[in-house]
Structure 1
């Protein structure tokens, strides 16, 4: 507990020095007692300083860098949560770079050897100096059995440091929710818990390897998208070995031009492949910035770094596809219906007022030039009205929205006139037709019939039990005491349920067959 308190004091001091406590004070307007406590907690006078959003963002970025790796991750995560820190500050935090000085080469060698074993380590040749270093790990190139690989190694002691600081952040979130009840809607404790889950996955490189493998499996038939192989023989909890990317960074436009790669086609493929992942598979790369995307001479997009991945269940995928497609069609009533049916907007809210709010988002966007139309920004504006209509925060959709903004930004660097909506439309249409259209209904009927047919062998046994129970009832063998009477009532209820199950099974078979053959 003492360590947690010391970390909290460290956080308060850094935020006070950067003057960002003033910003949050203005945003949430705590009472005098709380403001005075923050003043003491931060060891700083609560002087009124400029609350210009850009300068506040820069100061907060500096404070988080000073606090270290855990807080850099926190800042990046808060960059996806404009509902907590405000739109402008969230935008500033999205620029927070996760780069730190590399750790010593000898420590890296020792770590690799300890993790994969000395015999395997001897097979590694030409281990390079770090070619990239971030808050959690650094990357080296090497040769194994004549093939080029990238080897990612965790920083020493990083797991313990993250766990201690995240526990302190959890305490901090609890304190904030206690003293500022209106922040409970923001689910700060849940946010820190989610951040803890994400970093726990990032600090077990086997999870990152499996994420890369899953993405490769999901996208193996997707055009122009190529995920590197994982070498599991040289991968462990603290070391990840993957196929070295043979390509150029997607930000090197001159080299892309030299290879005569069609940049318009490349921009289209980036957006469509991202949507196939998010809407089609429900599993998407959550950090698709330029540094994590490469392109080969054939125009294939090659992603790296699978530490941050997003996952959407089928309901969320349907919600996402239908609202985006609804906006494309400018059918705001339909989009409003989706929100109410999905339970994202409470039933006591006005559907007409919500539809009008959606129109206020959509119409100005479609009235702009093509280069200013953004699905990611539209989603950001959509999530901004959450408080007005008492919608619960959806962290998984916020990660998707942030990634979509990044993906669109990458696409626009390749083709500034890319029409995001026209590019997105065929992917969304195709998925909705498959999942909601007539084909989906037939598939569901087939699945239902199959499930019913699987249970048919049980029907004779169920009928026999029901028949015996009815014989007992006909014989009138009912005890007079209360306990036996209750048991009899319970048995009658069981018999009735069994009879109902039989009827339901038969009806399902009949209905399913009618759907299939009519």
Structure 2
């Protein structure tokens, strides 16, 4: 209890030191809070922009608050753009913990001495972050061969530290929410709950290994990205062992260019990987900042992306994917009326919303940005204006799309760094239109029928017996007139004929729709 009290006092002191009270308390309509804000502001130098002060305060408060700021930076629907941009600059600058502690964690997880697992183990970590650190090693295997691996070890005592800080965050969120209308609009309780979920997901390294394995399967055959293999005999909640990947960090563009990598192609490949993971698989790497991306220069895999760190992944349902694809396609065609209709059809805006008003608002945001190279477009600014428009029309922000937004902004950043002239929209448009054709065409119908075939196989043999039982029940009714029975049989016959003809018509209609879509697109 005492430690929690001291931690709370320290948090308040840091907030005052960096002038966060000036940003929040002065907006509350309570005179005594205005007085406090004026008193605590005496003697402080608050020349730095507000976003910078918030970022520096979170860095001072430690790794958990840094991670919170990183998550908060994705919620551009909740805060001004300048603060969101500054929070996006937060990096995990955490000193490594002792290699003896890391080795003890490995031995405890696998109940073996580290020398019985590895031929060699680098005591100096190659990377250290708020949640875990990574060591290189050489793994022994059952065939006597050795494999170069990376060993990710969870930082000790993380769960206890996280629970303490989360408890304080929940308490502070309650204060912010109760003190002003602005506080309620920011939804601090929901943001903390979202952060809680992400953080606990990252604390389970088996979950991260499973996500990496799924992405690796999904990307097989694309030949654009490499994802490390997981060694399941040595994966536990606190430790995972994976294939060691070697490449050039994607931020080192000059090194990549000197190695002969086609930089514009690399930029286009990044967009292709993103849209493939999102719209084909509905399962995407949601932490694609430059620190987690390398490029292979090995002869066999030259120029391919290398993805690392799978603690945060995003998922989308078939409904989400279809809605997003239709929205993107409508945006690319500048069909703002269709975008407005999709918002209403999905229930994201009230049903009584006028389509023409929402269409006009969306057009005013998006139209000025088309036909420009990426270097002249700030996707963050477009998103922020869209969110401002969304608030005007009471659009409900969809939680499942927050990670998608974050990842899209990461892609924009990579595109700017690699090829400022990349046209993100033009690169993505053919992919999305092909995806839409696949969703509407006969191939999709055949895939769905194939998936449902086991259920149909069970029901079809029973259909004649069910039909006979139905007719027999009709004949056994002593109180039913013969004419009624014949009418019932005729209705049954018409129903069966309708099912047959309707099925044929449905297939022919899909083929016709496929032809129409192809004509419109091409």
Mapping 1:41-440, distance limit 5 Å: 45=40, 55-119=49-113, 121-124=115-118, 125-145=120-140, 146-180=146-180, 183-184=183-184, 186-297=186-297, 298-366=302-370, 368-373=372-377, 377-437=381-441, 439-440=443-444
For 1:51 and 1:385, locate their aligned partners in 2 and report how far apart those are by CA, in whole Å. 32
| Counterparts in 2 of 1:6 and 1:394: CA distance versus 1, 3 Å | farther
SS of 2:40's equivalent in the other structure is coil
SS of 1:348's equivalent in the other structure is coil
Once the two structures are TM-superposed, the CA of residue 173 in structure 1 deviates from its matched residue by: 2.8
For 1:278 and 1:410, locate their aligned partners in 2 and report how far apart those are by CA, in whole Å. 17
SS of 1:164's equivalent in the other structure is helix
Once the two structures are TM-superposed, the CA of residue 17 in structure 1 deviates from its matched residue by: 2.1
For 1:508 and 1:191, locate their aligned partners in 2 and report how far apart those are by CA, in whole Å. 50
SS of 1:291's equivalent in the other structure is helix
| Counterparts in 2 of 1:371 and 1:291: CA distance versus 1, 3 Å | same
In structure 1, runs of 5+ residues without a counterpart are 477-499
Is the Cα–Cα contact under 8 Å of residues 373 and 422 in structure 2 kept in the other structure?
no
Q: Which moved more, 1:340-349 or 1:206-215?
A: 340-349
Is the Cα–Cα contact under 8 Å of residues 22 and 51 in structure 1 kept in the other structure?
no
Once the two structures are TM-superposed, the CA of residue 135 in structure 1 deviates from its matched residue by: 0.8
For 1:504 and 1:60, locate their aligned partners in 2 and report how far apart those are by CA, in whole Å. 67
SS of 2:222's equivalent in the other structure is coil
Once the two structures are TM-superposed, the CA of residue 33 in structure 1 deviates from its matched residue by: 6.1
Once the two structures are TM-superposed, the CA of residue 144 in structure 1 deviates from its matched residue by: 1.0
Once the two structures are TM-superposed, the CA of residue 269 in structure 1 deviates from its matched residue by: 0.4
Is the Cα–Cα contact under 8 Å of residues 251 and 290 in structure 2 kept in the other structure?
yes
For 2:477 and 2:10, locate their aligned partners in 1 and report how far apart those are by CA, in whole Å. 75
For 1:285 and 1:219, locate their aligned partners in 2 and report how far apart those are by CA, in whole Å. 11
Is the Cα–Cα contact under 8 Å of residues 264 and 415 in structure 1 kept in the other structure?
yes
For 1:266 and 1:406, locate their aligned partners in 2 and report how far apart those are by CA, in whole Å. 15
Is the Cα–Cα contact under 8 Å of residues 293 and 304 in structure 1 kept in the other structure?
yes
For 1:12 and 1:99, locate their aligned partners in 2 and report how far apart those are by CA, in whole Å. 22
| Counterparts in 2 of 1:377 and 1:288: CA distance versus 1, 3 Å | farther
Once the two structures are TM-superposed, the CA of residue 132 in structure 1 deviates from its matched residue by: 1.2
What does the per-residue CA deviation read over 1:374-431, in whole Å, with 9 as the maximum and x for residues that have no partner? Answer: 5565344323322111011223323222221222221222212111111111221121
Once the two structures are TM-superposed, the CA of residue 471 in structure 1 deviates from its matched residue by: 8.4
For 1:501 and 1:98, locate their aligned partners in 2 and report how far apart those are by CA, in whole Å. 69
Once the two structures are TM-superposed, the CA of residue 70 in structure 1 deviates from its matched residue by: 1.5
| Counterparts in 2 of 1:474 and 1:282: CA distance versus 1, 3 Å | same
For 2:136 and 2:62, locate their aligned partners in 1 and report how far apart those are by CA, in whole Å. 26
Once the two structures are TM-superposed, the CA of residue 501 in structure 1 deviates from its matched residue by: 12
Once the two structures are TM-superposed, the CA of residue 215 in structure 1 deviates from its matched residue by: 0.7
For 1:177 and 1:194, locate their aligned partners in 2 and report how far apart those are by CA, in whole Å. 16
Q: Look up the match of 1:491.
A: none
SS of 2:152's equivalent in the other structure is strand
| Counterparts in 2 of 1:48 and 1:223: CA distance versus 1, 3 Å | farther
| Counterparts in 2 of 1:411 and 1:369: CA distance versus 1, 3 Å | closer
Once the two structures are TM-superposed, the CA of residue 363 in structure 1 deviates from its matched residue by: 1.3
Q: Once superposed, what is the RMSD of the aligned Cα atoms?
A: 3.3
Is the Cα–Cα contact under 8 Å of residues 324 and 375 in structure 1 kept in the other structure?
no
1:31 aligns with 2:29: yes
For 1:503 and 1:375, locate their aligned partners in 2 and report how far apart those are by CA, in whole Å. 56
Once the two structures are TM-superposed, the CA of residue 239 in structure 1 deviates from its matched residue by: 0.7
In structure 2, runs of 5+ residues without a counterpart are 141-145, 481-490, 510-522
For 2:493 and 2:42, locate their aligned partners in 1 and report how far apart those are by CA, in whole Å. 74
SS of 2:133's equivalent in the other structure is strand
Q: Look up the match of 1:484.
A: none
Once the two structures are TM-superposed, the CA of residue 505 in structure 1 deviates from its matched residue by: 8.7
SS of 2:225's equivalent in the other structure is coil
